[in-house]
Structure 1
Amino acid sequence: MSEVLKVSDLRVGFGRRGLFGKAVEVLHGVSFGIAAGETFGLVGESGSGKTTIGRAVLGLVAPSAGTIVLNGVPIDDLRRRRRLAREVQVVFQDPYTSLNPAMTIEDILSEPLRVHGMERGAAARRVADLLDRVALPADAGRRYPREFSGGQRQRIAIARALSLEPRVIVCDEPVSALDLSTQARILDLLIEIQDTLGIAYLFISHDLAVVRHISHRVAVINKGAFVETGTAAQVTEDPAHPYTRRLLLAAPVPDPARQRERRAERHRLADAAPA
């Protein structure tokens, strides 16, 4: 399969001070590609650099080195970044703050359509299709975000990401603010949409179990570099790197005795890790 998104030797630095100051590099040459209809899972702890990768793909931070190629075209100038804004969309972590509380759902979903020149009647029909796509009732468009549950708001956020028919969606911790049963339903919805539309997902999470549920391939990131990559089954069932094993051991289990053993093993791996 041809790659819709290809990232090569991506480096990002922050914090340059003064005329001769040097930026602190937070991404150290990461590379990956995502094909149409594929989910690439990116997993790591807070501060590992995973969200910075997502922001770079979205054009929200400028790489200090490396290339980002969308459909064979390097995204390296302003004109191409405007194109990126349409073809690469995002679903954020928090469904409670990512939707404007003063706007109706119809206004939220139609806003990007109107910005790109769609007339009002066509936009209204597109909004109806989007609500149906994410399994929300037709009258949802007349209501406000506060009238919906967290899971329903995330469905609205997914509909908004779909509005411009993107090739790639960056899913930045899209279920971490939801309870477990709602998480499963949202993940199943994303899988159903992907099977139907062939969208590529860059799925960012700190939870290996969630990443395994939805991803075809997985990269584990620590301190701005990939420490392990492979299929979802390889990485979660037979991890090669101690950091990946620590992430797996961080998931809670119902047995208190087994949980203590897992915690002790996780601490042992952390103590044995090189500085």
Structure 2
Amino acid sequence: MTAQHLLDISELRVAFPGRGFRARPHEVLHGVSLSVGEGETVGLVGESGSGKTTIGRAVLGLAAPSGGTVHFQGKDITHATGKERRALARDLQVVFQDPYSSLNPSLTVGDILSEPLVVQGVTAREARAQVAGLLDQVGLPKDAAERLPREFSGGQRQRVAIARALAPAPRLIVCDEPVSALDLSTQARVLDLLVDIQRRTSVAYLFISHDLAVIRHVSHRVSVIRRGEIVETGSAGRVTSAPEHPYTRQLLLAAPVADPVAQRRRRVERQRLAAAGGAEVA
């Protein structure tokens, strides 16, 4: 990891139009700052509606910032044009939450993986050769290239989505709840795959999730977001085992455990924290 950050988000604000005539805009991010280094995974965790996905969308140019800046590889991309965004796609990619809707059902897996390569100027023959390598990289057989997404399980489809993100050899991948639609055993395999890919390629991840256990598994550092503001940042080990902020402690206590006695104790402690500091984490 180098001293210079790969991604720098500074005082980022995003506001959405209000509902109704002359309604004021509703601000969902209130001056958020975070960074991701080369080859690093930064976990961004918070409950539904906290603003974590909006941060990812702002980085990708899918949500327009109303204030602050986003720098990628030292360049200001806060208000990048469509042409600039297409050029950025070589180094900045995304894996979305739902493997069922993020893949074109009418294209074969080979065509899905070839598309970003061809856009970057790779010939069709070179693309086919690279597709075989991508499938091997994510643990899928070579004949998967001839099949349609509907022929695969949810975990396999997410592997295809990861392969598509890896196709242009990016520097950073925004992972927006990439395992939340999968069962627990499949989640673990996909998370292990992401860690292994990072070890081999040094790609960086901005990993967005509502689940502290998932964040702990993949992250080097963690930022906790609540109601559009970062409330705690630190190493993954500390934030996910000995959090300092009451909201982070609530997130930790909300994670289920197998022991019913311990689970009951957690629920009582979570309710106590909620009574002392605001709404309880769902």
TM-score bracket for the superposition, by shorter chain length: over 0.9
CA displacement at 1:151 relative to structure 2? 1.1
Q: Deviations over 1:154-209 (max 9, x none)?
A: 11000000111111100111111112221111111111111111111000000001
Q: Which residue of 1 aligns with 2:44?
A: 42
Once residues 14 and 169 of structure 2 are traced to their aligned partners in structure 1, the CA distance between those partners, rounded to angstroms, is 28
Task: Identify the match of residue 96 of structure 2 among 92, 97, 101.
Answer: 92
Match of 1:129, as an amino acid?
A: G
Q: Which residue of 1 aligns with 2:164?
A: 160
Q: 1:77 and 2:76 equivalent?
A: no
CA contact (8 A) 2:112 2:164 kept: yes
Task: Identify the match of residue 267 of structure 1 among 262, 271, 279.
Answer: 271
Task: Identify the match of residue 143 of structure 2 among 128, 139, 144.
Answer: 139
Q: 1:179 and 2:183 equivalent?
A: yes
Aligned partner of residue 144 in structure 2, secondary structure: helix
Select between 83-92 and 143-152 the one with higher mean Cα deviation.
83-92
Q: What's the RMSD between the two structures over aligned residues?
A: 1.5
Match of 1:23, as an amino acid?
A: P
Once residues 19 and 254 of structure 1 are traced to their aligned partners in structure 2, the CA distance between those partners, rounded to angstroms, is 50
Aligned partner of residue 86 in structure 1, secondary structure: coil
Q: Deviations over 1:65-95 (max 9, x none)?
A: 1111111111133143332233211111111
CA contact (8 A) 1:59 1:84 kept: no
Once residues 98 and 5 of structure 2 are traced to their aligned partners in structure 1, the CA distance between those partners, rounded to angstroms, is 29
Task: Identify the match of residue 236 of structure 1 among 232, 240, 243.
Answer: 240
Question: TM-score w.r.t. structure 1 length?
Answer: 0.96
Once residues 95 and 19 of structure 1 are traced to their aligned partners in structure 2, the CA distance between those partners, rounded to angstroms, is 37
CA contact (8 A) 2:9 2:71 kept: yes
CA contact (8 A) 2:61 2:80 kept: no
Once residues 24 and 173 of structure 2 are traced to their aligned partners in structure 1, the CA distance between those partners, rounded to angstroms, is 33
Q: 1:203 and 2:229 equivalent?
A: no
Question: TM-score w.r.t. structure 2 length?
Answer: 0.93
CA displacement at 1:107 relative to structure 2? 0.8
Match of 1:61, as an amino acid?
A: A
CA contact (8 A) 1:39 1:202 kept: yes
Instruction: Provide closer, same or farther for how the CA distance between residues 274 and 135 of structure 1 changes in structure 2, counting only shifts above 3 A.
Output: closer
Aligned partner of residue 159 in structure 1, secondary structure: helix
Task: Identify the match of residue 30 of structure 1 among 24, 29, 32.
Answer: 32
Percent of aligned pairs with the same amino acid:
65
Task: Identify the match of residue 15 of structure 2 among 3, 13, 16.
Answer: 13
Q: How many residues align?
A: 275
CA contact (8 A) 1:9 1:66 kept: yes
Q: 1:117 and 2:121 equivalent?
A: yes
CA displacement at 1:126 relative to structure 2? 1.1
Select between 58-67 and 20-29 the one with higher mean Cα deviation.
20-29
Q: Deviations over 1:86-142 (max 9, x none)?
A: 321111111122111111100111112222322110110111111011111110100
Aligned partner of residue 33 in structure 1, secondary structure: strand
Match of 1:251, as an amino acid?
A: A
CA displacement at 1:19 relative to structure 2? 9.4
Match of 2:29, as an amino acid?
A: L
Match of 2:186, as an amino acid?
A: T
Once residues 16 and 89 of structure 1 are traced to their aligned partners in structure 2, the CA distance between those partners, rounded to angstroms, is 30
Once residues 64 and 90 of structure 2 are traced to their aligned partners in structure 1, the CA distance between those partners, rounded to angstroms, is 18
Once residues 128 and 50 of structure 2 are traced to their aligned partners in structure 1, the CA distance between those partners, rounded to angstroms, is 41
Match of 1:166, as an amino acid?
A: P
Once residues 127 and 259 of structure 1 are traced to their aligned partners in structure 2, the CA distance between those partners, rounded to angstroms, is 46
In structure 2, runs of 5+ residues without a counterpart are: none
CA contact (8 A) 1:58 1:84 kept: no
CA displacement at 1:15 relative to structure 2? 1.3
Q: Which residue of 2 aligns with 1:226?
A: 230
Once residues 248 and 18 of structure 1 are traced to their aligned partners in structure 2, the CA distance between those partners, rounded to angstroms, is 38
